[in-house]
Chain A
């Protein structure tokens, strides 16, 4: 009765933690989804943009926390994914060390998959093997003696087919059994040069008083000087000296320190697998004949562009009806709520124009996000994504991006939000960062109305439809033409992150499962709404308040008086009175538009626009354009409606509106050095279009970049693009004036 009470108590309340570990493309995530269903939680690991997926697994009456670790080929911390795996397995940085590792192995490529298992053996964590894709292995003529494998590895081995959900029951049972009676993997026997090097490292660091590494930790540092365990060593010069002498010893025994670990493990695995794998004849790989077509220089390229065309079209066009539906739903909700709050105009405007518009502004992105992730899941699950990256890698490698940047950048032509989210498929953090920063430069569909309005108003009447079409086409390349060299400069001179080798495994082609695809869509959609959506909503409310307040009642009075004075010139007082008594009359709506315009001019944002107009003076923008530009920072598509309000036409105008076009053509400077001259000269028009092409006028994109990277990068991207846009507009205007 003297046993410590605390320990068992603590044990019974904390759920056991089980981690899924394995190479990429093993079906690990599918297995995770199968085991946890929708009881999942997605977050980021602290301080790093690697996804942490955890979920609840109920097996045999036990609640277990299941962690889906990022796929990795080895414990060498080259990528952030691998670093996180090592952090978790080492129980570092406040992360809980798993009680059990479930290795998910691809049965069609067992030897390579076992390398990670063999490396992890050193850590002494209880383990269990899920031998996945057994069906594909059988089809490829590979027979695996599971019992013998289990005997040799010293841990249970369960056969599973994650895509069909078979073997799940056995796996759950095995997990519970392994938690009760854990078994660990036997460590391999290292050659003398390695054990000696390890000892040298440990003793040397201890003597220098700069770190106390365990045997397993010292091994990792020996093979990987950038290992997370090396970061804990305080004296780096001492470590480097010790490593140099340990490495030269390894070299003397005829091994390359860079590849020694893998070489030794593979040697061990080859004897371990002797008699376990039986391949009937040469391994028949299903993808050879398909690859002959899909990776063919001519046909492969054509098919690639056809596939990407379908992806783009569906984002650009097919998402339209759904987005219109969400738009209509937002307006309907606004109109439904508006009368209910008519007694409190400020609250009415905040709820309708701030909150409801903001929620609508978040949901409007969902169709494109869901459609894009449908295609990404489809392309990845079939195995085509790796081929696509292979085909176009050369187009991007020169500027620090890689073949996997294509889909995110292409999607950004529809919308940067799904585009930035799609960069999750890039495992190289440097390429991913660069791709994210380049994505908002792609000319998204929200820029189109601006181009159409200005080209239709100023270029088409002068130069005809042919030139107008060419200018519209060219506008779509302005961003790209600037983004790629910028990426090159960024990579060449500024990014101090190490470039990762672009080495891709060409996975076997597989039939995707709808279940998996829908899971991906649901996961991404939910994440967007919950995480980025809240920030976008907050932005929307902030901008609404800047456009609404201070709302001085004197503004309305003054606008009304000046309107009545003007009207009195051409109408009799009775005419005016009758017209104003009917809220639908032309004159009433003209008055409303005049008041709205006056309120915008007097709002905080309007005043700010007037105050900063001198900044835009060198680009030839008057205060109206400036306010229009500023008010479209949260979302560039609002520019048309804002211009409508500013030019007294009301917000109900679109890019094809004849009234708006006529007003723009007639607009003249009312004061200043250009008084009397038209505002919209050709250099100004081109300047505005280029400004919109380059400027980060999208709060949602800022929010999603902050979510995917951090606020520092989001701020850099925002200010950098804004400056670039301003500079280009100024250059165009100034050069245009000289010509």
Chain B
């Protein structure tokens, strides 16, 4: 079963399964390293819950939940 990145809690790790087709945002996310097969880990939420900060490919990226929603994950370890 796949889940989207915005449903994870702080500290959860997962593998990127796919990025829902949405050319612009998929493109930007993929350029920054969000590509299928890589691991992501949620490092923290902003004080107001959004955006969230995640670690991917050795770098830390912050993104809004609206963008996190299109990143689908598998092999989630909570």
Q: Contact flags (1/0) for A102-138 with B, using CB distance below 8 Å? A: 0000000101100100000000000000000000000
Assembled-state Cα–Cα distance A596/B29 (Å): 65
A394 at the interface (CB under 8 A from B): yes
Assembled-state Cα–Cα distance A261/B26 (Å): 10
Assembled-state Cα–Cα distance A391/B33 (Å): 23
Contacts of A224 in B (CB 8 A): 23, 27
> Are B19 and A297 in contact (CB-based, < 8 A)?
no
Instruction: Give the number of residues in B that approach A within 8 Å (Cβ atoms).
Output: 37
Q: Knowing A287-B60, A504-B61 touch, does A258 contact B26 (C-beta < 8 A)? A: yes
Contacts of B25 in A (CB 8 A): 258, 501
Contacts of A109 in B (CB 8 A): 58-59
> Are B67 and A503 in contact (CB-based, < 8 A)?
yes
Q: Contact flags (1/0) for B11-49 with A, using CB distance below 8 Å? A: 000000011011111111111111110000001101111
> Are B27 and A506 in contact (CB-based, < 8 A)?
no
Min CB distance, B27 to chain A, in Å?
Answer: 5
**Selected contact of B49 from candidates A287, A394, A403, CB within 8 Å:** A394
Contacts of B48 in A (CB 8 A): 392, 394-395
Q: Which residue of A lies closest to B51 (CB)?
A: A393
**Selected contact of A501 from candidates B44, B53, B67, CB within 8 Å:** B67
**Selected contact of A257 from candidates B23, B32, B35, CB within 8 Å:** B23
**Selected contact of A390 from candidates B30, B35, B46, CB within 8 Å:** B46
B-contacting residues, A393-431, CB 8 Å: 393-395, 397, 403
> Are B21 and A506 in contact (CB-based, < 8 A)?
no
Q: Knowing A73-B32, A78-B28 touch, does A394 contact B62 (C-beta < 8 A)? A: no
> Are B67 and A258 in contact (CB-based, < 8 A)?
no
Min CB distance, A715 to chain B, in Å?
Answer: 31
Min CB distance, A199 to chain B, in Å?
Answer: 21
> Are A504 and B63 in contact (CB-based, < 8 A)?
yes
Q: Which residue of B lies closest to A75 (CB)?
A: B31
B-contacting residues, A23-42, CB 8 Å: none
**Selected contact of B53 from candidates A111, A115, A225, A390, CB within 8 Å:** A390
Assembled-state Cα–Cα distance A395/B46 (Å): 11
Contacts of A76 in B (CB 8 A): 24, 27-28, 31
Assembled-state Cα–Cα distance A257/B22 (Å): 9
Q: Which residue of B lies closest to A72 (CB)?
A: B31
Contacts of B35 in A (CB 8 A): 259, 262-263, 266
A336 at the interface (CB under 8 A from B): no
Contacts of B53 in A (CB 8 A): 295, 390, 506
Contacts of A16 in B (CB 8 A): none
Assembled-state Cα–Cα distance A519/B12 (Å): 43
Assembled-state Cα–Cα distance A501/B67 (Å): 7
Assembled-state Cα–Cα distance A504/B60 (Å): 9
B-contacting residues, A253-291, CB 8 Å: 256-259, 261-263, 266, 283, 285, 287, 291
> Are B44 and A295 in contact (CB-based, < 8 A)?
yes
Q: Contact flags (1/0) for A122-166 with B, using CB distance below 8 Å? A: 000000000000000000000000000000000000000000000
A368 at the interface (CB under 8 A from B): no
Assembled-state Cα–Cα distance A109/B21 (Å): 27
Q: Knowing A109-B58, A295-B53, A393-B64 touch, does A73 contact B30 (C-beta < 8 A)? A: no
**Selected contact of B27 from candidates A259, A386, A391, CB within 8 Å:** A259
> Are A503 and B21 in contact (CB-based, < 8 A)?
no
> Are B50 and A393 in contact (CB-based, < 8 A)?
yes
Assembled-state Cα–Cα distance A395/B51 (Å): 11
Contacts of B27 in A (CB 8 A): 74, 76, 78, 223-224, 258-259, 261-262
Contacts of A503 in B (CB 8 A): 28-29, 32, 61-64, 67
**Selected contact of A115 from candidates B31, B43, B63, CB within 8 Å:** B31
Assembled-state Cα–Cα distance A74/B27 (Å): 9
Assembled-state Cα–Cα distance A300/B47 (Å): 8
Q: Which residue of B lies closest to A223 (CB)?
A: B27
Assembled-state Cα–Cα distance A501/B31 (Å): 13
Min CB distance, B62 to chain A, in Å?
Answer: 4
> Are B57 and A390 in contact (CB-based, < 8 A)?
no
> Are A391 and B46 in contact (CB-based, < 8 A)?
yes
Q: Knowing A395-B48, A506-B53 touch, does A259 contact B29 (C-beta < 8 A)? A: yes
Contacts of A266 in B (CB 8 A): 33, 35
Contacts of B22 in A (CB 8 A): 258
A477 at the interface (CB under 8 A from B): no
Contacts of B64 in A (CB 8 A): 393, 397, 501-503
Assembled-state Cα–Cα distance A703/B58 (Å): 44
> Are B63 and A501 in contact (CB-based, < 8 A)?
yes
Assembled-state Cα–Cα distance A258/B21 (Å): 6
Min CB distance, B41 to chain A, in Å?
Answer: 12
Assembled-state Cα–Cα distance A262/B32 (Å): 9
Assembled-state Cα–Cα distance A502/B61 (Å): 10
Q: Which residue of A lies closest to B23 (CB)?
A: A258
Q: Which residue of B lies closest to A140 (CB)?
A: B58
Contacts of B49 in A (CB 8 A): 394
Assembled-state Cα–Cα distance A674/B51 (Å): 57
Most buried by B among A112, A287, A301, A501: A501
Contacts of B21 in A (CB 8 A): 256-258
**Selected contact of B24 from candidates A258, A301, A397, CB within 8 Å:** A258
Q: Knowing A109-B59, A263-B35, A506-B62 touch, does A501 contact B28 (C-beta < 8 A)? A: yes
Q: Which residue of B lies closest to A106 (CB)?
A: B59
> Are A258 and B19 in contact (CB-based, < 8 A)?
yes
A505 at the interface (CB under 8 A from B): yes
**Selected contact of A263 from candidates B30, B60, B61, CB within 8 Å:** B30
Min CB distance, B45 to chain A, in Å?
Answer: 8
> Are B59 and A112 in contact (CB-based, < 8 A)?
yes
> Are B60 and A506 in contact (CB-based, < 8 A)?
yes
Q: Knowing A109-B59, A263-B36, A266-B35 touch, does A394 contact B50 (C-beta < 8 A)? A: yes
> Are B50 and A259 in contact (CB-based, < 8 A)?
no
> Are B24 and A501 in contact (CB-based, < 8 A)?
yes
Most buried by A among B32, B33, B61, B62: B62
Contacts of A295 in B (CB 8 A): 44, 46, 53
Q: Which residue of B lies closest to A394 (CB)?
A: B48
Q: Which residue of B lies closest to A504 (CB)?
A: B62
Pairs A-B, 6 closest by C-beta atoms:
A258-B26, A259-B30, A262-B30, A394-B48, A74-B31, A506-B60
14 contacts between A and B (CB under 8 A): A73-B32, A78-B24, A112-B57, A115-B31, A262-B31, A295-B46, A501-B66, A502-B67, A503-B29, A503-B32, A505-B61, A506-B53, A506-B59, A506-B61
